[in-house]
Amino acid sequence: GLAALMRGEAERGEILLVALAGGVVVGFIIQHFAPEAAGSGIPHALRSLALEGGRMPLRIVIWRPLATAITLGMGGSAGREGPIAHYGAGLGSTLGQWLNMSDERVKTLVASGAAAGISASFNAPIAGVFFALEVMLQDLSGYYFGMVVAASVAGGAVSRIVFPGEHFFKVPPYSLASPLELPFYALLGIMAAPIAVSFVYLTHHFRSFLRSKNLSPVARTTIGMGLTGLIGLGLPAISGAGFSHVNEDLKGLIPLQSAIRLGLGKFFATIFTVGAGASGGVFAPMLFIGSMFGSAFGNIVHDTFPAITDPPGAYALVGMAAMFAAVSHAPITSVLIIFELTGDYYLMLPLMLATVLSTFVSETLNRDSFYTYSLAREGLHVGGQAQVEDILRGLQVAEAMFTNITMISPSTTLRDLSRLFAKAHKRAFPVVDDKGCLLGLVAISDVARAIAQGKDENATTAQDVMVRSVVVTYPDEPLWIAKRRLRAKDLGRLLVVDRKQHRKLLGIVREEDIGQAYSQALLRMVQLEHRVELLKLGHLEHIASLEFQCPSNSILHGKKLEAISWPVECVVTHIRRGSRMIIPRGQHQIEAGDFLTIMVAEEDMQSLKAFLNSRERDAET
């Protein structure tokens, strides 16, 4: 049955039975040997880079290739590229740990291993480099560049020695038929984005649904592979990567209705396979779906405007790049890998246009890519500004706002305002009435403009020149939102008002206040890391982490961290409250539902668990 399935000659019953068997075997591996082998593996690598200095367990190297081979070989709808990148990252991490390297060097080896994996898989060394930098590290600076390039070139060289041959996809020599065709390619890129966002959303919510039922990994993967097998009964082409059908589509050999059926079948089959946790990536499925979607779009456009448009195969090619870019938020990687897979550079302009637009619309609809979506739901944000935003998410405006502010009356004259600005060296003052209710904001530029217009300095008042439409924030609003609002509006300050009484002025928050709050939080983070290191030294590095969710009747509920009498030496490294990640300090009060991450010596773990599981009434007795 397996051999027949791989040759495409299996009977319908065999397709379903083989898929179910594959789900059982893969689930067994994930449940008993390597839970990290589930899914594409890239989110796990990103979490490792963000939280653990790139350190990953050796079992990934052992079990990931086997689990992926079984998933793809037994009818799963997924790709090998994500798992290969994860496998390469695991190899790099293992080498770095074996050589006792620093966190930064281990991270470099993780990225290098991922680059080598992509390069060897597709014979695409340039795309391998940018995949590692753009997706894994999300850092295009030159710090990691040299090592990543060397690893990717080595992977590509080995691939060409072992598997010599032509380009991965064989594409006819397409070229832009007319400049009037560019709007159609732009529309293709825009339309790819909602499809990609829907895929990300449905995949992760299917995964959450299965986990909410408390099913074992074996049950989840069996259900997912079984549903994929059911789709495969009518559309056997959706099994595996499906690159042979992509090749046909690029040549314009798949008609409109078949392209739509194959694209939809692959869309849902991949959701079931990857969402259930079977071992496989989304790179190849996105190329397949993008190709079919682009081909269907191209058929319609070419039939309607044959004189100024390319054949459907050209739209299939551009659709591949646009779809993967929208899912991964990696436009550079998407463009480069299509160039390297096809060797076709004649459609460069449509490719770049559609890819940039699909990425922009996708990021507008959902700021998280497929690889970061689940991490963001856990409160972990990765990327160039990830550390800044993560810290600011744990802070509220009330912790940074300045409350000792000078407020002026609406009857203050221009002359008095000029003197006040000269004396106070401020750029703006809030205008309030007799009850302290906010009326508006008057800036020094408003006063200067009124004087330049020749207005009477004694008769003209603040009420005449103030700006009434004021951008505000609230004391309980996350600080990162206030920072974004400042940047978006190009403002120097935000007025802080009561959320229930919008005219009640509480304070002001400026860019420098946010910077100071960030610096203080960063200092607390460094101090916590130092305490963890001291804890490791005191216990010969036999340290474990524990995540504890505080119930409403916990002994911790309602207490400040500094008031808790811990039974053993431990460090609370962070608190997750909803989507906020809080860097704790002594004044932080524990609330019901908070997730506390605690570092403790392994020999003290049971004592700490017993303390955390005790209830308030137990403590009183």
- The answer to whether residues 557 and 429 belong to one domain is no
Give 245 or 344, the one with higher predicted confidence. Answer: 245
- The answer to whether residues 89 and 191 belong to one domain is yes
- The answer to whether residues 330 and 421 belong to one domain is no
Q: What is the CATH number of the domain that holds 580?
A: 3.30.70.1450
CA distance 395 to 516: 12
Share of the chain above pLDDT 70, in %: 88
Among 464, 481, 514, residue at a domain's last position: 514
Q: Which residues lie closer than 8 Å to 344 by C-beta, 6 or more apart?
A: 171, 173, 174, 317, 338
Structure tokens given for 23 = 């789900």
- The answer to whether residues 445 and 551 belong to one domain is no
What residue spans of 381-490 are helical by DSSP H?
A: 386-393, 414-424, 444-452, 462-465, 479-489
Fill in the amino acid letter for 407. M
Evaluate whether residue 533 is within a structural domain: no
Evaluate whether residue 526 is within a structural domain: no
Judged by average pLDDT, the poorest of 9-13, 20-24, 597-601 is 9-13
Q: Is residue 84 within 8 Å of 117, Cβ to Cβ?
A: yes
- The answer to whether residues 468 and 616 belong to one domain is no
- The answer to whether residues 509 and 614 belong to one domain is no
> Which pLDDT band, with edges at 50, 70 and 90, does 513 fall under?
confident
Evaluate whether residue 313 is within a structural domain: yes
- The answer to whether residues 401 and 468 belong to one domain is yes
How many domains are there within the chain? 3
Mean pLDDT, the chain, whole residue set: 85
The whole-number pLDDT of residue 538 equals 53
Determine the average pLDDT of the residues in 550-567.
88
Q: What is the CATH number of the domain that holds 429?
A: 3.10.580.10
- The answer to whether residues 364 and 427 belong to one domain is no
Determine the average pLDDT of the residues in 415-442.
85
Evaluate whether residue 274 is within a structural domain: yes
Highest mean pLDDT, choosing among 493-497, 584-588, 611-615: 493-497
Q: Is residue 116 within 8 Å of 154, Cβ to Cβ?
A: yes
Instruction: Please state whether beta strands 543-549 and 595-601 pair in parallel, antiparallel, or not at all (unpaired).
Output: antiparallel
Residue 510: burial class (beta carbons within 10 Å; 0-12, 13-18, 19+): middle
Evaluate whether residue 495 is within a structural domain: yes
- The answer to whether residues 274 and 202 belong to one domain is yes
Evaluate whether residue 392 is within a structural domain: no
Among 481, 497, 514, residue at a domain's last position: 514
CA distance 506 to 172: 66
CA distance 372 to 330: 12
From 396, 399, 394, select the one nearest 573 (Cα to Cα).
Answer: 394
Q: What is the CATH number of the domain that holds 215?
A: 1.10.3080.10
- The answer to whether residues 334 and 462 belong to one domain is no
CA distance 179 to 190: 18
- Of all residues in the chain, what percent are helix, strand and coil, respectively (each to 5)? 60, 10, 30
Summarize pLDDT for 46-69 with one digit per residue, the tens: 888 877 778 888 899 999 999 999
Evaluate whether residue 534 is within a structural domain: no
Evaluate whether residue 387 is within a structural domain: no
The whole-number pLDDT of residue 526 equals 62
Summarize pLDDT for 236-274 with one digit per residue, the tens: 888 888 888 998 999 889 999 999 999 999 999 999 999
The residue segments making up the domain with residue 506 are 397-514
The whole-number pLDDT of residue 435 equals 81
What residue spans of 123-255 are helical by DSSP H?
A: 125-131, 145-162, 182-212, 217-234, 243-250
Residue found under tokens 């969710």: 549
Residues in the chain: 621
The whole-number pLDDT of residue 494 equals 86
- The answer to whether residues 156 and 303 belong to one domain is yes
Which residues are 509's β-sheet partners?
494
Judged by average pLDDT, the poorest of 243-252, 384-393, 555-564, 594-603 is 384-393
Residue 45: burial class (beta carbons within 10 Å; 0-12, 13-18, 19+): buried
CA distance 529 to 229: 48
Among 345, 377, 409, residue at a domain's last position: 377
- The answer to whether residues 181 and 259 belong to one domain is yes
